[in-house]
């Protein structure tokens, strides 16, 4: 595996960051997870835009232009001779002194890793997953805004631990007001009477690129999409449920907190969106070769 770090490629063995990098010491940095399908990088422009927005919000100046970052992503996938891959794009504050002050970090680092990923077991996509609601609430907008994909993912990790302790792969995270925000790494959707609902961004949902793609696909299919505040009661009584994410793609949800969702099996609208999403990923995106 060849890994891009600050303009150069390193082998997996030789790819290193300093122990004084504030990305390691304090979570100072931002990232994106990106997918490549069939020789094309899906939604690369949107991912790079979101990376720069996250960096801007935490006053982190990326030392490359958006076009240069996009080229680094393409070059990394090409260097690893991959047609289908998961790409982790990371920008750290860089090396600084011990102490929180980010002004000690003079040279942010840009890292690109391209490899494979399997977020959930393949058989789960056919039968659907169970979820539980966890005590850890989604970060407040007044703390670390959920729109920022920062390297400090402890809020999500704590919720993931609680899901694992309950014997499931994914959790429903509520916000401080008790409304549904999202999963630990996925956006959440429900279907009710043929309409599609997903929590609003103001509830603590990530500005998900897969989320936006699914909304577009649903609207193109003539499905009405709304973004109201949702409660656990809404989830329990949905006809269908699924989660979305770059790594997860579209995963049906068949049970939440012990309550079967709809028939307890993946539903027809979910299946159609899965089909349409996979079809889109095979033809859309930035060519690698």
pTM (2 d.p.):
0.94
CATH topology of domain 2-115: D-amino Acid Aminotransferase; Chain A, domain 1 (3.30.470)
149 is catalytic: yes
- Parse the chain into domains and list their residue ranges: 2-115, 122-281
CATH for 122-281, among 3.20.10.10, 1.20.1530.20, 2.60.40.10, 3.30.70.380? 3.20.10.10
DSSP code string of the chain: -EEEETTEEEETTT----TTBHHHHH--EEEEEEEEETTEEETHHHHHHHHHHHHHHTT---SS-HHHHHHHHHHHHHHTT-SSEEEEEEEE--B--SSS-GGG--S-EEEEEEE---SS-HHHHHH-EEEEE-SSPPPPTTSS-TT--BS--HHHHHHHHHHHHTT-SEEEEE-TTS-EEE-SSSEEEEEETTEEE---GGGT----HHHHHHHHHHHHTT--EE-----HHHHHT-SEEEEEETTTEEEEEEEETTEEPTTSS--HHHHHHHHHHHHHHTT-SEE--
pLDDT in tens, the chain (289 residues): 999 999 999 999 999 999 999 999 999 999 999 999 999 999 999 999 999 999 999 999 999 999 999 999 999 999 999 999 999 999 999 999 999 999 999 999 999 999 998 889 899 999 999 999 999 999 988 888 999 999 999 999 999 999 999 999 999 999 999 999 999 999 999 999 999 999 999 999 989 999 999 999 999 999 999 999 999 999 999 999 999 999 999 999 999 999 999 999 999 999 999 999 999 999 999 999 8
Q: Per the residue annotation, which of 45, 83, 116, 149 is the catalytic one?
A: 149
């Amino acid at each position: 595996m060849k890994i891009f770090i600050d303009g150069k490629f390193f082998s997996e063995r030789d790819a290193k960051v300093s122990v004084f990098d504030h990305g390691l010491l304090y979570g100072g940095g931002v990232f994106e997870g990106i997918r490549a399908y069939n020789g094309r990088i899906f939604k690369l422009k949107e991912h790079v835009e979101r990376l720069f927005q996250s960096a801007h919000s935490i006053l982190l100046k990326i030392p490359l232009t958006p076009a240069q970052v996009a080229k680094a992503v393409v070059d990394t996938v090409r260097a690893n001779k991959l047609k289908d891959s998961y790409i982790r794009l990371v920008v750290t504050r860089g090396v600084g002194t011990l102490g929180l002050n980010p002004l000690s970090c003079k040279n942010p680092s840009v890292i690109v890793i391209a490899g494979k990923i399997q977020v959930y077991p393949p058989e789960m996509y056919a039968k659907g997953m169970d979820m539980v609601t966890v005590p850890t609430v989604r970060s407040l907008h007044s703390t670390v805004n959920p729109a920022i994909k920062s390297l400090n993912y402890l809020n999500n990790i704590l919720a993931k631990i609680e899901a694992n302790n309950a014997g499931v792969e994914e959790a429903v995270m509520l916000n401080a007001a008790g409304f549904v925000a999202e999963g630990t790494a996925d956006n959440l959707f429900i279907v009710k009477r043929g309409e599609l609902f997903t929590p609003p961004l103001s509830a603590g949902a990530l500005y998900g690129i897969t989320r936006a793609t699914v909304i577009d696909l649903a609207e193109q299919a003539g499905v009405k999409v709304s973004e109201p505040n949702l409660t656990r009661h809404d989830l329990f009584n949905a006809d269908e449920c699924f989660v979305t994410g770059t790594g997860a793609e579209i995963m049906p949800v068949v049970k939440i907190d012990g309550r079967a969702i709809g028939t307890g099996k993946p539903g027809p609208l979910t299946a159609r969106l899965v089909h349409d999403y996979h079809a889109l990923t095979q033809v859309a995106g930035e060519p690698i070769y």
